[in-house]
């Protein structure tokens, strides 16, 4: 659209516009330009004459068929040559090295511990033997396992349909009490933590130590819940853990990211690897791997879609180990379909359009295809954000999160891989023409 505007702009137009706000009397040249190149209908503002009558219609027709080419982020590493000088000699050893094409991980180093996650869950067809083992109350657990055993360890038969607990209650052995429909479960999960200075922006809900959290909440109440006063100037007005012993609280342990990768394994002062009780190496120094490189989509033998999210960190490791970055042959015998990487282009179906039913390489179909073409904006586990190919790189689904009516027009936010069925991956050249259909 900018190119069309520039193409039909004349020096006379610029001269006329520059003189619109001039205080002096407009000269004969400006008056001639005004007479020759502009017009004014009754009740309307003055306008420039159209280059030709149907310029808007023609411009719209061509703009609608433009397919914008975006540079995909495929490269993982670059091979560089390092020159190493040999001591006492004049020659060098040239050694090729892989250099990552991006940030491997974020700077923050986290610690790791285990915590119990307790929640209330409704008994349903997912309560197999492994799930029942997480029930906190032993008498409930025993009763549920007994019911499961009666139905040959098939949770669907034991706890769904006519055997739901509301229709067919589970009795507790030796009593008239029944197992409630909702029970408490607990699972052991990883928790990644980091120590942080106490500042006004500290989020108390993330503090791990319950005693310290209680002290900080009481401190906040003393200052009318104003963190800028309560957690400022701690040298002159300290927060005491034990005032009699002079123990102050200056830093606290808080929860960090939900998922992280270990950078190293534990070693002693002599550099030897430290093993745990089961003779396993102990991973340490956990980091958030940051951006993902791709999401691989597979189909199992039953026709269901599955995802495998690969971080940039994992992709570099695979490259260094001479393993394929994209796993075509999956160990679960899943059939590989395609990958999704940032800026890759996909064509989505809708009620009136099936991309599998037309020739996507035929330029006469550009108008139909362009309306349904989206590029990958963000990818994470069961969360894929696509922007329409004509949207700017800065635009994303967060911009439109309060404008649901734009969903499917300017963006698509997909929460599960099962909604990716029948989308088609394509590759564009620099001119915006489709040159390949399918994975490449």
DSSP secondary structure string for all residues of 180-247? -SEEEEEEEEEEEEEEEE--TT--GGGB--HHHHHHHHHHHHHTTT-HHHHTS-TTTSPPEEETTTTE
Proportion of the chain above pLDDT 70, given as a percent: 97
DSSP, res 417? G
Contacts of 79 (CB under 8 A, 6+ apart): 96, 97, 98, 99
Q: What is the mean pLDDT of residues 285-292?
A: 88
**Nearest CA-CA partner of 216 in 251, 247, 257, 245:** 251
23 confidence band (pLDDT: 50, 70, 90): low
Interatomic CA distance for residues 258 and 189, integer angstroms: 10
**pLDDT at 305 > cutoff 90:** yes
Cβ atoms of 193 and 111 closer than 8 Å: yes
Interatomic CA distance for residues 376 and 168, integer angstroms: 48
Cβ atoms of 387 and 374 closer than 8 Å: yes
406 confidence band (pLDDT: 50, 70, 90): confident
pLDDT at 301: 92
204 confidence band (pLDDT: 50, 70, 90): very high
**pLDDT at 218 > cutoff 60:** yes
pTM above 0.75, yes or no: no
The maximal CA–CA distance of the chain, rounded, in angstroms, is 109
Contacts of 67 (CB under 8 A, 6+ apart): 366, 369, 370, 373, 389, 428, 432, 433, 434
pLDDT, the chain, mean = 89
Interatomic CA distance for residues 349 and 420, integer angstroms: 10
pLDDT at 404: 77
């Amino acid at each position: 659209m900018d190119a069309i505007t520039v193409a039909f702009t004349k020096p006379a137009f610029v001269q006329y516009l520059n003189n619109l706000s001039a205080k002096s009397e407009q000269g004969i040249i400006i008056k001639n330009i005004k007479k020759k190149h502009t017009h004014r209908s009754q009740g309307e503002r003055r306008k420039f004459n159209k280059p030709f009558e149907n310029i808007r219609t023609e411009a719209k027709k061509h703009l609608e068929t433009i397919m914008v080419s975006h540079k995909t982020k495929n490269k993982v590493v670059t091979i560089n040559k390092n020159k190493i000088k040999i001591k006492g000699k004049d020659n060098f050893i040239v050694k090729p090295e892989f250099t990552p094409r991006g940030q491997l991980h974020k700077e923050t180093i986290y610690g790791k511990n285990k915590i119990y996650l307790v929640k209330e869950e409704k008994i349903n067809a997912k309560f197999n033997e492994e799930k029942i083992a997480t029930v906190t109350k032993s008498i409930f657990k025993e009763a549920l396992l007994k019911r499961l055993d009666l139905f040959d360890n098939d949770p669907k038969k034991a706890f769904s349909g006519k055997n739901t607990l509301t229709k067919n209650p589970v009795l507790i052995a030796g009593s008239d009490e029944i197992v409630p429909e909702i029970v408490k479960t607990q699972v052991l999960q990883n928790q990644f933590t980091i120590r942080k200075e106490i500042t006004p922006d500290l989020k108390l809900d993330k503090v791990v130590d319950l005693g310290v959290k209680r002290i900080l909440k009481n401190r906040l109440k003393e200052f009318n819940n104003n963190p800028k006063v309560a957690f400022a100037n701690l040298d002159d007005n300290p927060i005491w853990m034990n005032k009699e012993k002079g123990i102050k609280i200056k830093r606290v342990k808080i929860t960090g990211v939900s998922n992280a990768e270990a950078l190293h394994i534990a070693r002693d002062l002599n550099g030897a690897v430290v093993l745990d009780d089961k003779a396993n190496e102990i991973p340490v120094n956990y980091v958030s791997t940051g951006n993902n490189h791709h999401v691989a989509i597979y189909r199992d033998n039953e026709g269901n879609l599955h995802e495998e999210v690969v971080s940039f960190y994992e992709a570099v490791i695979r490259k260094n180990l001479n393993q394929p970055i994209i796993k075509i042959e999956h160990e679960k015998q899943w059939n590989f379909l395609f990958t999704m990487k940032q800026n890759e282009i996909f064509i989505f179906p809708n009620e009136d359009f099936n991309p599998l039913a037309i020739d996507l390489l035929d330029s006469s179909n550009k108008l139909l295809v362009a309306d349904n073409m989206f590029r990958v904006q963000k990818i994470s586990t069961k969360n894929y954000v696509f922007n329409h190919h004509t949207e700017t790189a800065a635009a994303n689904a967060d911009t439109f999160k309060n404008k649901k009516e734009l969903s499917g027009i300017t963006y698509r936010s997909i929460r599960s891989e099962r909604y990716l069925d029948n989308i088609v991956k394509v590759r564009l050249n620099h001119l915006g023409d489709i040159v390949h259909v399918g994975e490449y």
